[in-house]
């Protein structure tokens, strides 16, 4: 087993957006709350733990959420607030290490093998971070500690909310063998279904396969699954994650089939994209159109040019051209999105901000 001496912490804020809203609005506390729009075509961005008891989850249509919980409270999304709170959380992280890899506004990896406070045990750092987040920001975080990113991420989910879990190298094999295959990094619903057909349901089943067999069935991902099943993950905690794309999308109030209506909506999305590009300074040479239809199927169409897409006069004509390649006469459009990618100049100063029950005795690590 490799990298036993590394000390990695994964910190994950519990129900982050919803918790911020409950913190800032006392009338929401202890009640089922979602962040998002209650519009008939709205989507849940985040759900409080009180709401989750009703089966409500992020990305769920708002109408379905309201059916599950008729007295559900909706709070408007306030990204500028969440970004500001995230910056405060990262300031706490930096008291201990500068080797921080943000995964989103509400979670990050920290490499504390060598840390600013000289602590021997990573769990002591994790406990102090959790305490500081609670005392200074009045929010709750969960933390996972292990010798690699794969296990630290799993550990942070193990005792949520307000949990802390250490997976020591001596415990890793037993932990992984009992882990449901759906909990493995990179295993989505489609891959899990394929694995089930092959008799792979838990980590022990996956571990029994050879690397040749896994690569045969899952391509290059097979090697990663093999490594994870054996407790191996050599990926470093990356201090800088360069933004690879920037985009926006909108779910329409009504499904549309008229070309004139589609172009109007495309104009609004393109205008928002131009605004975000201006704020971020991102320079992408590939423009991608995303269309989701009434039946929830979706397609993308892309075009690449030598110069970056930055101005409306650059983006809108090409977006219209991509839209003209889409047949939506018999399958109305539900959502339109635009994004730019394939950076012309990658800047190293822009971090990307884009989520079993076993009785283990935590060993010091």
Phi, psi dihedrals of residue 102, rounded to the nearest 5°: -70, 135
Banded pLDDT at 241 (limits 50, 70, 90): low
Query: Is the pLDDT reported for residue 359 higher than 60?
Result: no
Q: What is the pTM of this model?
A: 0.71
Q: What is the pLDDT of residue 40?
A: 83
Could you say which of 101, 107, 265, 310 is catalytic? 107
Which stretches within 114-188 are classed as H helix? 122-137, 149-158, 169-177
3-class SS of residue 163:
coil
Residues 299-339 pLDDT 10s: 999 999 888 999 999 999 999 999 999 999 889 999 999 99
| Dist. CA 223–CA 218, nearest whole Å | 8
Strands 164-166 and 141-146, sheet pairing: parallel
Query: Is the pLDDT reported for residue 3 higher than 50?
Result: no
The burial of 279, by beta-carbon neighbours within 10 Å (0-12 exposed, 13-18 middle, 19 or more buried), is given as exposed
Residues 248-299 pLDDT 10s: 998 888 899 999 999 999 999 999 999 888 887 888 899 999 999 988 888 9
- Specify whether 107 is catalytic: yes
Residues 126-183 pLDDT 10s: 999 999 999 999 999 999 999 999 999 999 988 889 999 999 999 999 999 999 999 9
State percent of the chain over pLDDT 90.
73
Q: What is the pLDDT of residue 244?
A: 77
Cβ pair 62, 38 in contact under 8 A: yes
Residues 4-44 pLDDT 10s: 479 999 999 999 999 999 999 999 999 999 999 888 888 89
| Dist. CA 76–CA 37, nearest whole Å | 6
- Please give the domain boundaries of the chain with CATH numbers for all domains: 8-145 (3.30.70.270), 173-229 (1.10.150.20), 245-343 (3.30.1490.100)
For range 340-347, the mean pLDDT = 67
Q: What is the pLDDT of residue 354?
A: 33
Q: What is the pLDDT of residue 97?
A: 96
Mean pLDDT, all residues of the chain: 89
Cβ pair 49, 194 in contact under 8 A: no
């Amino acid at each position: 087993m490799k990298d036993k001496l590394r000390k990695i912490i994964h910190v994950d804020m519990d129900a982050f957006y919803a918790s911020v809203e409950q913190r800032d609005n006392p009338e929401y506390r202890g009640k089922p709350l979602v962040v998002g729009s209650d519009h008939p075509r709205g989507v849940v961005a985040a759900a409080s733990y009180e709401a989750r008891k009703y089966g409500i989850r992020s990305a769920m249509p708002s109408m379905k959420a309201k059916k599950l919980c008729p007295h559900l409270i909706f709070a408007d999304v306030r990204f500028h607030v969440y970004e500001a709170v995230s910056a405060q959380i990262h300031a706490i992280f930096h008291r201990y290490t500068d080797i921080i890899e943000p995964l989103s506004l509400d979670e990050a990896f920290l490499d504390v093998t060598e840390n600013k406070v000289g602590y021997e045990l990573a769990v002591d750092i994790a406990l102090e971070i959790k305490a500081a987040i609670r005392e200074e920001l009045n929010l709750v975080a969960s933390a996972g500690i292990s010798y690699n990113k794969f296990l630290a991420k799993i550990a942070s989910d193990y005792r949520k909310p307000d949990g802390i879990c250490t997976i020591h190298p001596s415990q890793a094999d037993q932990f992984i063998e009992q882990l449901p295959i759906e909990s493995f990094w990179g295993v989505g619903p489609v891959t899990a279904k394929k694995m089930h057909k092959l008799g792979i349901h838990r980590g022990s089943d996956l571990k029994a396969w050879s690397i040749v067999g896994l690569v045969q069935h899952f391509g290059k991902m097979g090697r990663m699954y093999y490594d994870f099943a054996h407790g191996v993950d050599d990926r470093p905690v990356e201090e800088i994650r360069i933004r690879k794309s920037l985009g926006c999308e909108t779910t329409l109030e009504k499904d549309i089939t008229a070309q004139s209506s589609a172009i109007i909506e495309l104009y609004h999305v393109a205008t928002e994209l131009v605004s975000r590009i201006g704020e971020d300074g991102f320079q992408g040479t590939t423009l991608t159109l995303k269309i989701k239809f009434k039946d929830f199927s979706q397609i993308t169409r892309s075009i690449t040019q030598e110069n970056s897409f930055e101005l409306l006069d650059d983006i809108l004509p090409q977006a219209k051209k991509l839209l003209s390649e889409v047949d939506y006469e018999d399958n109305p459009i539900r959502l339109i999105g635009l994004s730019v990618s394939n950076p012309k100049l990658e800047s190293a100063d822009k971090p990307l901000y884009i989520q079993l029950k076993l009785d283990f005795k935590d060993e010091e690590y």
